[in-house]
Structure 1
């Protein structure tokens, strides 16, 4: 049975999605993040799946044969925390995270409570570094 990628780019409105975020502070932070990610990447915000706001895209193919498309970077203003999506496997990420501010990490995500907890300059570096890493790893991205 072929693997079906769950998170695909959609035509859903980013503005409508952010407008549906219940918490007013998270909604405000989401608009701020759209501006920062757009400025740092040069890509416009697009919805990926039901709740991820992504910027740019790349096509990946693993040795296992699994392949698909994903945003170069993105975020999701989830109920508990804001999830920031950067390149998995980027060896330079840890150095930047030392000065990032209050956060936790997952496999490919960095979680923050609010924008006030983080250093915006470091965020911009994380975004740029992630885009560069993916474009070098997956030429044509």
Structure 2
């Protein structure tokens, strides 16, 4: 995955429906504040910072340090592994998860303080170099 350039503002302005656009604006501000990094487009993903990953299998590549994607059905936040956040997710409010993704249909329905805690934990895990065989190196 690579940064693709382009205007994050223009990308967000085109997000539909309007509620998802509102959530994208809020998430951009929250992730920028937490990460201390400017938002950049990685295709249709809004990422903050960059890191290089390497799995024990030898697979490697680049990805954002923190990221989300405003999809039509939900905002997708990319986490390390949702199983690491079970207690916080129980307090978050309405959401669904995949192995490494958190899906939120309405950001106003969740506890933003809890969400911030989850994202801060992901950032800390990433900046510390990962674990469980995943090597992470911050590159931006």
TM-score (norm 2): 0.88
Structure 1 equivalent of residue 70 of structure 2 = 77
1:67 Cα offset (Å): 0.4
1:112 Cα offset (Å): 0.8
User: What CA distance in whole angstroms lies between the structure 2 residues aligned with 1:82 and 1:59?
Assistant: 24
Where in structure 1 do 4 or more consecutive aligned residues deviate above 6 Å?
Answer: none
Structure 1 equivalent of residue 58 of structure 2 = 65
1:22 Cα offset (Å): 2.3
C-alpha change, 1:81 and 1:139, in structure 2 (3 Å) is closer
Q: Which of 95, 102, 110 is the aligned partner of 1:110?
A: 102
Q: Where does structure 2 lack aligned partners over 5 or more consecutive residues? A: none
User: What CA distance in whole angstroms lies between the structure 1 residues aligned with 2:83 and 2:48?
Assistant: 21
User: What CA distance in whole angstroms lies between the structure 1 residues aligned with 2:31 and 2:68?
Assistant: 9
TM-score (norm 1): 0.87
Q: Where does structure 1 lack aligned partners over 5 or more consecutive residues? A: 1-6
Structure 2 equivalent of residue 126 of structure 1 = 118
In the alignment, is the contact (CA less than 8 A) between 2:53 and 2:137 conserved in 1?
Answer: no
Q: How many residues align?
A: 133
